Amino acid sequence: MTFQLGAKKCAEYIKKHKSALVVSHIDADGLTSAAIMGKALERAGIEYETHFVKQLDTSALTGIADRNPELVVFTDLGSGMLDAINSLKINAVISDHHQPHGTHDHHLNPHLFGINGATEISGSGVTYTMVSSLGDNNDLADLAIVGAVGDLQHVKHGQLIGINRSVLEEGTRNGALRFEKDLLLFGKQTRPIFKLLQYSSDPYLPGITGSEDTSIEFLKKIGIRQHGEKWRRWIDLEANEKQQIVSALIQFCLTCGMQAFNIQRLVGEVYTLLREREGTEVRDASEYSTLLNATARYDHADIGLAVCMGDRGKRYDEAITLLNDHRKNLVEGLNLVKEKGTTKMENLQYFDSGNKIRETIVGIIAGMSTSFLDNKHLPIIAFADSDGGVKVSSRGNYDLIRRGLNLGVAIGEAAKSVGGAGGGHDIAAGAFIPREAKDEFLRALNSKIGEQIR
């Protein structure tokens, strides 16, 4: 069976039901997945509700089973809990791209077809493929690309590849999307250009990130000045001015001794949503995905979902307010990691943010901090306080993956050994563990990573 035939099988099963509960994850990929499924169900005349979870564990699944829904559609999660879904007798369709554990009759996952779920298709892409067999839903390709970019699936190759690429080309053909090489810094549609530098967190620009004065001075030094009282946005600049800024930033990063991998994060393929108004946060796929993360990761998934479903009024304004707070929190979190540094073990490095960084964004900060941490040969593990325990997030790099690192497997096994639960991708994974088990978890994880990369 091919991936597309698997998608069709799941879609046909969904069509047999009159109502469904859509359960999804609280990040940009999860929100766009839920929106894609929700719109498709609505068009197919199937009633639905949407429910978001931080972590799909036994407790969350028991709560879902107790609701006794006719059908549960899991989007961007579920593959790691197939045995539990089966044992609870939940009538489910699973649309996910994380590494699967167990089997299920109606389960669409790229890994089952030899497709990499970390780089070739995101959760929203899997869901988009599924709903393409549910009806005429190709106008939802732009949401699938927002999810893929939010999942950083374009980072390894500097562009989207695999099925993501096919979805992108479909969206381009129907006039929803445009792609081109450009600066990757956040805020090109909406922010004065000095703000792109001031709030740059991926990569972190030493001495510039976090400082408005230094950011403005950097631009003035290379001859970029404001027009009258106002600074222009990136989209307002001439091509030669853009090139001037990019060249100066690359030279700055080289002078700071930054590694080539981090410098490459300055320029890459960017994705524009042509049906959205120019100069808004939803015009650029990266800004759109960050806007969504700023809602769901702060307990307002309903706001992010409303934006995905087309709200450009009250809920959209609420999302913008949350986004401004989110960006400040990211910079503060990065500065905390830069100040504290990490603790090194033989096969990993870690930091414990306690209650200083919110558990829902500690993984984002862990990923961004790789732009200034020196130990590139060690994956980074991040801890944050959570209700009833500790949230663990981890990030690796592609050099480590080539050596055998698989964080999804290592974290899942280490968490299970201390009474927790976890999983994810080879390059990024997460878990929840008991508070008192952190040291034991670190020892187990250090050992498992060592076995993998040796």
Residue 68 within a domain: yes
Which domain covers residue 96, as residue numbers? Answer: 3-163
Where would I find the beta strands (DSSP E) of 9-137? Answer: 19-25, 47-53, 72-75, 92-95, 107-108
Given a cut of 90, is residue 205 above it in pLDDT? no
Q: How confident is the model at residue 304 (pLDDT cuts 50, 70, 90)?
A: very high
Kindly state whether residues 195 and 287 are assigned to the same domain: yes
- Give pLDDT tens digits for 72-93: 999 999 999 999 999 999 999 9
**Nearest residue to 96 via CA among 114, 129, 74:** 74
What is the Cα–Cα distance from 447 to 89, expressed in whole angstroms? 36
CATH label of the domain that carries residue 96: 3.90.1640.30
Whether 19 and 141 share a structural domain: yes
**In the prediction, which pLDDT does 209 show?**
83
Whole-number Å distance between alpha carbons of 403 and 418: 26
Q: What is the mean pLDDT of residues 23-39?
A: 97
Q: What confidence score (pLDDT) does residue 148 get? A: 98
Buried b (16+ CB within 10 A) or exposed e, 424-444: bbbbbbbbbbeeebbeebbeb
The answer to the question of residue 270 being in a domain is yes
Q: How far apart are CA 435 and CA 438, in angstroms?
A: 6
| Residues found in the chain | 454
170 assigned to some structural domain: no
Say whether both 301 and 189 belong to one domain. Answer: yes
What is the per-residue pLDDT for 259?
A: 67
Q: Where in 262-321 does DSSP place strands (E)?
A: 267-273
Q: Note the pLDDT tens digit of each residue in 93-127.
A: 999 999 999 999 999 999 999 999 999 999 999 99
What does the CA dihedral 7, 9, 15, 21 come to, rounded to 10 degrees? Answer: -60
Q: What is the pLDDT of residue 102?
A: 94
Does residue 171 fall inside a structural domain? no
Sign of the alpha-carbon dihedral angle for 87, 88, 94, 98: negative
Residue 175 placed within a domain: no
% of the chain residues with pLDDT over 70: 99
Q: Count of domains in the chain? A: 3
- Asked whether residue 293 carries a pLDDT value surpassing 70, the answer given is yes
Residue 26 banded pLDDT, cuts 50, 70, 90: very high
Q: Are 353 and 333 in contact (CB under 8 A)?
A: yes
DSSP 8-state assignment for residue 110: G
For position 262, what pLDDT does the model report?
63
Interstrand relation of 177-183 and 47-53 (parallel, antiparallel or unpaired): unpaired
How far apart, in whole angstroms, are the C-alpha atoms of residue 387 and residue 409?
A: 24
Q: Are residues 46 and 193 in the same domain?
A: no
Of the pLDDT bands very low, low, confident and very high (cuts 50, 70, 90), residue 260 is: low
Q: State the pLDDT at residue 351.
A: 97
Q: What's the DSSP call for residue 356? A: S
Q: Are residues 153 and 8 in the same domain?
A: yes
CA distances from 302 to 34, 53, 127, 228, 316 (A): 11, 12, 19, 40, 11
Same domain, 79 and 217: no
pLDDT tens digits for range 308-345: 999 999 999 999 999 989 988 998 999 999 999 999 99
Is residue 261 pLDDT above 60, yes or no?
no
pLDDT of residue 425: 87
Task: Determine the Cα–Cα distance for residues 365 and 370; give it in Å rounded to an integer.
Answer: 9
410-430 pLDDT, tens digit each: 999 999 999 999 988 888 999
Tokens of 194: 């000095």
The domain boundary, picked from 293, 317, 334, lies at 334
Query: Domain check: are 53 and 120 in the same one?
Result: yes
What was the pLDDT predicted at 398? 81
Whether 201 is in a domain gets the answer yes
- The reply to whether 176 falls in a domain is no
Q: How many Cα atoms are found within 13 Å in the side-chain-facing hemisphere of 339?
A: 8
Q: Which of 302, 334, 366 delimits the end of a domain? A: 334
pLDDT digits (tens, 9 = 90+) for 358-387: 999 999 999 888 878 878 789 999 999 998
Residue 173 included in any domain: no
Domain boundary among 275, 307, 334: 334
Q: Are residues 242 and 386 in the same domain?
A: no
The string of pLDDT tens digits covering residues 120-174 is: 999 999 999 999 999 999 999 999 999 999 998 998 888 999 999 999 999 999 9
> At residue 438, does pLDDT exceed 90?
yes
Q: pLDDT value at position 374? A: 75
Question: Is the domain of 200 the same as that of 348?
Answer: no
Q: Are strands 421-424 and 428-433 parallel, antiparallel or unpaired?
A: antiparallel
- Looking at the fold, whether 328 and 346 belong to one and the same domain comes out as no
Cα dihedral across residues 4, 5, 10, 12: positive or negative: positive
Given a cut of 90, is residue 446 above it in pLDDT? yes
The CATH number that applies at residue 367 is 3.10.310.40
In this structure, are 295 and 381 located in the same domain? no
Q: Are residues 50 and 26 part of one domain?
A: yes
Predicted local distance difference test score (pLDDT) of residue 157: 87
Q: What is the pTM of this model?
A: 0.85
Angle between helices 28-43 and 123-131 (to 10 degrees): 10
How high is the mean pLDDT of the chain?
94
